[in-house]
Structure 1
Amino acid sequence: MFTSVNSRAATAYQRVAVETSVQGADPHHLVTMLYDGLLQSLQLARNAMERQDVVTKGQALGKASRIIDEGLKAGLNLTEGGELAQNLRSLYVYCAQRITLANLRNDLAAVDEVIGLIDPLADSWKQIRNAALQGG
């Protein structure tokens, strides 16, 4: 199947925009981007499951797993982060397990559970950033 020139150009532009955003981001913003990407992937997987689109579901859940393992979990400093970092690591491990089961069993409830665990964490992370930017 061929893609149109406009589609390829849009994809290339999006990739460059993401790469530029990552290169210019501070560590706090990078974590925000990881949470956003994780939630987007989970929602994409959720929608694909509802449509019974197995390929898209697998791709989206695979991306979600990589974001957790290679981004969020890998970025934790367990030495300096203390109990908070340990707790986040445990949460990420649990979420990765639920995503794997969701993929194997086509379990929409497992995807919803992970969204329910990550969404408030992502919102809190954004509030910390906003408070810091506002000086308080």
Structure 2
Amino acid sequence: MYETGFDAYRQSEIQVRAATASPAVLVLMLLDGLLDELARAEGHLLARNYERKGNSIKKSMRILGALDASLDRSQGVELAENLHQLYAYCGRRLFKASVRNEAAGFGEVADLMRNIREGWEQVAARAA
């Protein structure tokens, strides 16, 4: 399950942070995890380790699904729909980039998610 003892430690640290985090901080944690996995996927692609690249893409898709599932459609319907569409686009883009082994697709999604993360940082700062 974990590749190293550090991975196990990191996972338990994340679980502790998540247990006490606000919703905005939880979204930031998901976005950070997504950005980490996208970087890993690109590294695995460049190293021609396609199995690990596939695992990172799979994790990235699950995180996108979690971000989409966390949308509160009763608050800010238009914003929630726009984010839903963006997450769906990112999922399609990752799939296409993965199948074609195009590192640029991983970078495109990472750039989009960094922009979204900046917005969530502001939300978390206002809530704190």
TM-score between both structures, scaled by the size of structure 1: 0.85
For 1:83, the equivalent position in structure 2 comes to: 78
For 1:35, the equivalent position in structure 2 comes to: 31
1:16 Cα offset (Å): 1.6
Tell me the amino acid that sits aligned with residue 59 of structure 2: K
Identity %: 34
Which 5+ residue runs of structure 2 have no aligned equivalent?
Answer: none
Match of 2:116 among 100, 114, 121: 121
| Separation (CA, whole Å) in 1 of partners of 2:89 and 2:74 | 21
1:130 Cα offset (Å): 2.4
The 5 A counterparts of 1:62-101 are 62-69=58-65, 71-101=66-96
| Separation (CA, whole Å) in 1 of partners of 2:58 and 2:18 | 21
Which 5+ residue runs of structure 1 have no aligned equivalent?
Answer: none
Tell me the amino acid that sits aligned with residue 25 of structure 2: H
Bigger relative contact order, structure 1 or 2, given CA contacts below 8 A and separation 6+?
2
1:15 Cα offset (Å): 2.2
1:12 Cα offset (Å): 2.9
Paired residues, number: 126
TM-score between both structures, scaled by the size of structure 2: 0.90
| Separation (CA, whole Å) in 2 of partners of 1:79 and 1:26 | 18
- Does 1:47 pair with 2:51? no
